[in-house]
Amino acid sequence: MFGPFDALAEANSCGQSTGCQYELLIISENGGSVTTEAGVIIQTHYNIDNCPPLHTLIIPGGSGSRSDKISDRLINWIIDVESHIKRVCSVCTGIFILAKTGLLNGRTATTHWKFVDEVKHCYPGINIEPDALFIKDNKFITSAGITAGIDMALSLIEEDMGSGAASDVARMLVVFFRRSGGQNQFSFFLQQQEKSSDQFTNLLAWIADNLTQDLSTKNLASKVYLGERHFARKFKEIYGETPSRSVENIRIEVAKNWLLTSNKSISVISELTGFMSSDSFGRTFQRTNGVSPSQYRAHFGHFS
């Protein structure tokens, strides 16, 4: 709840020039206070009987959202409210509550990767995209866990107040603006970090910070005090790819962030990420992503 809540609250100060303001209301079935699974007590503003008309409904996740105790009364209220509002959103396991309404049947949605199989089993009528950060299908917007709720909220702010306001909010929250909903829940760095050994813990981060340096296998091996052949063999055992391929993937990952969050030219980005030329960068990007850097920026980026 707090990720989207804080993003929308911050938008009220960042987006003053737009003339749009959010009134943020916390609603529960019966009103009063609600205790989260982490033990945080939240005081609600309204219950479902006395809340005012809504523009957007966001259903947060938590262990309670998967409970059999979710009442028909609450589900029927969501069904009734949906017909009068612009957007219905869920964060993480909030999809279980929204799914109970039947409003997602035949639609495409997402949730936290940990609960994808459970949602598929319980609600086979929903087309679940297992990797997406968030997905919009008509007025229904579903997101993956925790920080993906902030990405979803930034997309709402951009829709309501413009990309400038959304960018300001992202900067205040110290997050990247903007991860597209279609991007994978796991970045290359997170995927590789799960496999990392103590000896290589900082190596990938060092590579990302030194993309214009000599990143040959020989030089990388010296960074972890191993012989070149032993390093290459051990690296592939851990990460499932050669050091040179990993360097290439890191360069592309960093380049994606530059494409999404800056107006730097493609030739400058190719230099910053250590490619020999913009042509080499373009060919590598096309091979690994199926689109050119300019097409990627136009589809996903803030500076398109």
Q: Using one digit for the tens of pLDDT, what is the confidence trace for 194-242?
A: 555 556 767 887 888 899 999 999 999 999 999 999 999 999 998 889 9
> Which are the contacts of 125, defined by CB distance < 8 A and separation ≥ 6?
102, 104, 105, 106
28 and 138 fall within a common domain:
yes
Considering its fold, how many domains does the chain have in total? 2
- The residue assigned the tokens 């496999």 is 195
Model-level pTM? 0.66
11 and 133 fall within a common domain:
yes
Q: What is the pLDDT of residue 133?
A: 85
* 182 in a structural domain: no
**Residue 283's domain is classified under what CATH number?**
1.10.10.60
Instruction: Give dist(CA 211, CA 273) in Å, integer.
Output: 5
57 and 99 fall within a common domain:
yes
What is the DSSP secondary-structure string of 132-159? BSEEEETTEEEE-STHHHHHHHHHHHHH
Residue 24: CA atoms inside 13 Å, Cβ hemisphere, count? 14
Q: Which domain holds residue 203?
A: 188-300
CA torsion 46→50→52→55, rounded to 10°? 70
Q: What is the pLDDT of residue 197?
A: 58
Gyration radius from the chain CA atoms: 22
Q: What is the pLDDT of residue 176?
A: 55
> Which are the contacts of 221, defined by CB distance < 8 A and separation ≥ 6?
227, 228, 230, 231, 232
Q: What is the pLDDT of residue 304?
A: 45
Residues of the chain with pLDDT under 70: 15-18, 176-199, 201, 300-304
Last residue of a domain, which of 147, 173, 199?
173
* 19-33 confidence digits (pLDDT tens): 789 999 999 999 999
168 and 200 fall within a common domain:
no
143 and 259 fall within a common domain:
no
* 251 in a structural domain: yes
156 and 23 fall within a common domain:
yes
- The residue assigned the tokens 């960042």 is 14
25 and 120 fall within a common domain:
yes
Q: What is the pLDDT of residue 192?
A: 60
Last residue of a domain, which of 173, 208, 232?
173
134 and 213 fall within a common domain:
no
> Which are the contacts of 93, defined by CB distance < 8 A and separation ≥ 6?
61, 62, 63, 65, 66, 111, 112, 115, 145
> Which are the contacts of 177, defined by CB distance < 8 A and separation ≥ 6?
154, 166, 167, 169, 170, 171, 260, 261, 302
